[in-house]
A and B are shown apart, each in its own frame.
Chain A
Amino acid sequence: GAVVSQHPSWVICKSGTSVKIECRSLDFQATTMFWYRQFPKQSLMLMATSNEGSKATYEQGVEKDKFLINHASLTLSTLTVTSAHPEDSSFYICSAAHGAGYEQYFGPGTRLTVT
């Protein structure tokens, strides 16, 4: 149980284009989904928190107009990186939590490379 998927697993895009990453909870309803970013050999940094049907809450320093988050249903959240630049190249990982629980279950991650 508690399986989270991400799509795509990796993507290469040209500078200036936009990329959408999907995060799905496969066997539970995720009331809250989180988006993290991880640079090579570094830790995970929380980017934003999204609750179903509400606007996402972004961490300090994360541009909300650049990283668009939509949590349209209890099983799907999307992250769109708009006007991507090489410095946005990173490993993007989502996690999902259900109900009042503490546990977060992570997806397999999406490797974004911007050329």
Chain B
Amino acid sequence: QQQVKQSPQSLIVQKGGISIINCAYENTAFDYFPWYQQFPGKGPALLIAIRPDVSEKKEGRFTISFNKSAKQFSLHIMDSQPGDSATYFCAASQHLQGGGADGLTFGKGTHLIIQP
């Protein structure tokens, strides 16, 4: 059972455009939703994350939109640049009762290409 569904699988955007990646989750216990960027042969790097108590979070060119009732969240990359070309993963986890975070459940990833 895939608990976090990510789309599209691949995306091509022109330089300067907006890249949009969507994720949907099933487990209502999830309360932390990060996005990671991964370059080939490297570990994933945390881009931005959101908790369910807000509907939107913006950091620089990156924005997360969160819809709790629909159990969906999305990443928007404004003014996309060739250097943004990478694989992007959404993920979700839940806070443990005793404190600390649980392991992350990842989406399948989106291969983003920004054309110059």
Contacts and interface: CB of A to CB of B under 8 A. Distances in A.
Interface of A: 4, 6, 31-32, 34, 36, 42-46, 49, 51, 59, 93, 95, 97, 99-109, 111
Contacts, number: 67
A103 B34 contact: yes
B104 A109 contact: no
A49 B62 CA distance: 29
Interface stretch (B13-21, B39-47, B64-72, B73-81): B39-47
Interface of B: 32, 34, 36, 41-46, 49, 51, 89, 93, 95, 99-109
A68 to B, nearest CB: 18
B21 to A, nearest CB: 14
Q: Which one of A43, A46, A95, A100 has the highest number of Cβ atoms from chain B below 10 Å of its Cβ?
A: A43
Contact of A34 (B36, B95, B104): B104
A49 B43 CA distance: 18
A4 B46 CA distance: 12
B45 A111 contact: no
Q: Which one of B36, B95, B101 has the highest number of Cβ atoms from chain A below 10 Å of its Cβ?
A: B101
Contacts of B43: 4, 6, 93, 106-109
B112 to A, nearest CB: 14
A32 B34 CA distance: 18
A40 to B, nearest CB: 10
B109 to A, nearest CB: 5
B105 A93 contact: no
B76 to A, nearest CB: 21
